[in-house]
Amino acid sequence: MSTDFFTSQDNARRQTGRLVMLFVFGVAATMVALWAVIAGAMATQVGARAWADPRIAGGVFVVVGAIVGIATLVKLAQLSQGGSKIAEMLGGVPVDPTTRDPGERQLLNIVEEMSIASGVPVPPVYVLEDQSVNAFAAGPDPSRSVIGVTRGCMELLSRDELQGVIAHEYSHIFHGDTRINARTTAVIAGIMAVGLLGFIMFRHVGPALARSGGRGRKNNGAAVGVAIVLIGLAFWAIGSLGMLFGRLIQAAISRQREFLADAAAVQYTRNPDGIAGALAKIRDHYSGRIENAHASELNHFFFCSSLNTLFATHPPIDERIGRIVAMGAAKVGASEAARPRSGTGAPTGRPAAGGTAGLAGATAAIAQAGTLDAESIARARAFRESLSPDFAEAARDPEGARAICYAVARQPSNPAACESLVRQSDPECLAAYLRVAPAIAALRPDAQLALVDLAAPALGQLGASRYGRFREILAHAVRGDGRIDLREWALVKSLERHVERRFTRGVAPARGSLAQHEAEARMVIAIVAGVTHSGDGVARSFELGLAAIGLRGADMPSASTRTLDALNAATKSLAGIAFTERARLLHACAAAAAHDGEVSIDEFLVVRAVADALDVPVPALAGGPQ
């Protein structure tokens, strides 16, 4: 199993510590420089003792610390609201899931296909009404991320080129780059706050007071204004060092991650000409410049630089294209042959997904946790295109989305009970339910849940209050026969990850280890082992799963304790372990499921539901004929 997603998520959290170190260094340098200027100025009046006066140093450190701290916390609070806040700052407008605009429909189709193929919740899509060619991803985690594109990106690129750009942005979501970008923005805002305050004092406050002075002999407003201008000038000059340092941080963190995201996009789509063609069009024909006041502070979020700046947050486009050509972009490579360009070096990328040799169908899907490949994208596109118009329209409408979930929860042995519940408790979606329920019953379970994944953005439009009411009704449908089966539990876990996490702001901890939760890990592996295996096969499957995480000789939980309630409790406890530890657990689940050489749909459902509970993306479709 590729652990690239898992290690990247843990690294993204550790990156915060490095940012804090850079932040402290930048703030300290600003404090020392400002203290030196003020102490030096006062020394001309009171002598050398000004340099040793602790009140001067203390005052400077307190004032600067307060300014920087407040600015950082305000920006962090603003960005922690989710990717949608960043999209709105840039002037993005959400794309209506029911849109019939051809360009918007194609964009949503590409995003939906990649989400189904990867298991990442379908992100809201925003369009910036700008004719440049650019895109971005933003959000603190995969469940609360959004994707934005400019109107020019949507209209001026071919489908393959647009898919390459979107794959690049998905790489940023997979690997925690969006989280790092948000925190980098907050750090930069704090460091730059002193210079910004100085500019306001120098350019606006001081001159205003100076102009208001002079109307009367005792009015000293002019003198105060001049003093504020001089103080502001000093703050601005010293704060400019903070601005310089902030831009260096922004550039240093962003540049290498752009190379990695380019390489990942090639790996995902197996079409290097797609992303290379998009970059070539930006370089040769169209601009990536974004006309927005926030483009500068958010420049490192974009697919390519949104402005011309000395401290580039993105590598030169020529170098990016050169590396992608080295990966096999034949069409673009032919046109590049005559162009002089800087050295490209060896192509750099994240490791390709591994561990799937000899495995097929559902097992391969499990092994792709946190990544994409061309086969999965093609399978997702075929699934989406095979949907009837009733399904496609229902998945993009809040009433239809609720109807899909009710239909998935419907008990095959008593379908009338679910219809009666919908008729009484949610009559708005009754017509849609009656249209889709019979056809949904004929779908394979993994296809049913893939349809629920497509419906997640429409469910998110309900808002927390209306969605809460819907979940209460759905809970009645799920418990209609007095118990919850595997398919229903997988539905609930899918909704928790793909919809409900959008309504939360906190980021769950990811620090624990499997060693601290050995009993819970044994329970999860035992339940996976017992899904379809029987007799000695259950014990052998359990042993293989334990061996995958280095455990031996542990007693298998009894059949009476291996319930969905126990599974639910175990996964809740395990949701706080580090992502690399989650990788080990899912690898163990895959080993247990594949004990007999194949993975059934039911085994796939339970492993994917465990992955949803652990906030790990696993492809929605198990593979094989639908």
The answer to the question of residue 446 being in a domain is yes
pLDDT value of residue 275: 93
- 137, containing H or E segment: strand 135-138
**Quick one: three-class SS letters along 42-57?**
HHHHHCHHHHHCHHHH
- 107, containing H or E segment: helix 102-118
pLDDT value of residue 479: 81
The answer to the question of residue 403 being in a domain is yes
Would you state the structure tokens that stand for residue 334, as one six-digit string? 């032919």
pLDDT value of residue 216: 52
Give backbone dihedrals phi and psi of 93, rounded to 5 degrees, phi first.
Answer: -120, 125
Confidence of residue 571 (pLDDT cuts 50, 70, 90): very high
Assess whether 169 carries a catalytic annotation.
yes
C-alpha–C-alpha distance, residues 310 and 270, integer Å: 34
What would you measure as the largest C-alpha separation in the chain, in angstroms? 102
Between residues 359 and 136, which one has the greater pLDDT?
136
pLDDT value of residue 351: 33
The answer to the question of residue 348 being in a domain is no
The answer to the question of residue 369 being in a domain is no
Give per-residue pLDDT as tens, 153-197.
999 999 999 999 999 999 888 888 888 788 778 877 877 787 788
Q: Say yes or no: 394 and 499 in one domain.
A: yes
The residue-averaged pLDDT of 348-361 equals 36
Q: Say yes or no: 519 and 494 in one domain.
A: no
pLDDT value of residue 309: 55
pLDDT above 80 (res 1): no
Give per-residue pLDDT as tens, 546-570.
888 887 766 888 888 888 889 999 9
pLDDT above 80 (res 113): yes
Which residue, of 224, 253, 282, is where some domain finishes?
Answer: 253
Q: Say yes or no: 408 and 496 in one domain.
A: yes
pLDDT above 50 (res 341): no
Strand partners, 544: none
Instruction: Measure Cα distances from 189 to 26, 71, 73, 99, 443 in Å.
Output: 12, 6, 9, 37, 51
Domain holding 285: CATH number? 3.30.2010.10
Yes or no: say if 99 and 108 are a contact pair by the CB < 8 Å rule. yes
Q: Say yes or no: 156 and 236 in one domain.
A: no
pLDDT above 70 (res 4): no
Q: Say yes or no: 451 and 472 in one domain.
A: yes
- Burial of 253 per CB tally in 10 Å (0-12, 13-18, 19+): buried
The number of residues in the chain equals: 626
pLDDT value of residue 352: 35
Give per-residue pLDDT as tens, 448-489.
999 999 999 999 999 999 999 999 999 999 887 666 788 889
The answer to the question of residue 365 being in a domain is no
111-115, 391-395, 421-425: least confident range: 391-395
pLDDT above 60 (res 353): no
The answer to the question of residue 157 being in a domain is yes
The number of domains in the chain is 4
Give per-residue pLDDT as tens, 196-206.
888 888 777 77
Which residue, of 253, 273, 300, is where some domain finishes?
Answer: 253
Percent over 70 (pLDDT), the chain: 84
Q: Say yes or no: 243 and 279 in one domain.
A: no
Q: Say yes or no: 323 and 454 in one domain.
A: no
The answer to the question of residue 30 being in a domain is yes
- With H, G, I as helix, E, B as strand and everything else as coil, classify residue 553: coil
Would you state the structure tokens that stand for residue 478, as one six-digit string? 């799920």
The residue-averaged pLDDT of 345-362 equals 37
Close Cβ partners of 597 (under 8 Å, ≥ 6 residues apart): none
Which residue, of 208, 231, 253, is where some domain finishes?
Answer: 253
Give per-residue pLDDT as tens, 115-147.
998 888 999 999 999 889 999 999 888 888 999
The residue-averaged pLDDT of 586-600 equals 83
pLDDT value of residue 154: 93
Confidence of residue 360 (pLDDT cuts 50, 70, 90): very low
Confidence of residue 359 (pLDDT cuts 50, 70, 90): very low
Spell out a b/e string for 377-399, using b for 16 or more CB atoms within 10 Å of the CB, else e. Answer: bebbbebbeebeeebbbbbbbbb
Q: Say yes or no: 56 and 204 in one domain.
A: yes
Domain span including residue 393: 387-503
> What is the 8-class DSSP label of residue 96?
P
Q: What is the DSSP string of 471-495?
A: HHHHHHHHTTTSS--HHHHHHHHHH
The answer to the question of residue 32 being in a domain is yes
Q: Say yes or no: 450 and 478 in one domain.
A: yes
The residue-averaged pLDDT of 525-542 equals 84
> What type of residue sits at position 379?
R
> What is the 8-class DSSP label of residue 147?
E
Average pLDDT in the chain: 81
Yes or no: say if 366 and 604 are a contact pair by the CB < 8 Å rule. yes
pLDDT value of residue 22: 67
Yes or no: say if 234 and 37 are a contact pair by the CB < 8 Å rule. yes
Yes or no: say if 120 and 375 are a contact pair by the CB < 8 Å rule. no
pLDDT above 70 (res 215): no
- Predicted structure pTM score: 0.77
pLDDT value of residue 419: 93
Would you state the structure tokens that stand for residue 239, as one six-digit string? 């704060």
Q: Say yes or no: 426 and 484 in one domain.
A: yes
Q: Say yes or no: 320 and 245 in one domain.
A: no
203-217, 273-287, 332-346, 552-566: least confident range: 332-346
* Candidate list 104, 113, 161, 169, residue with the active-site label: 169
Q: Say yes or no: 90 and 41 in one domain.
A: no
C-alpha–C-alpha distance, residues 187 and 189, integer Å: 5
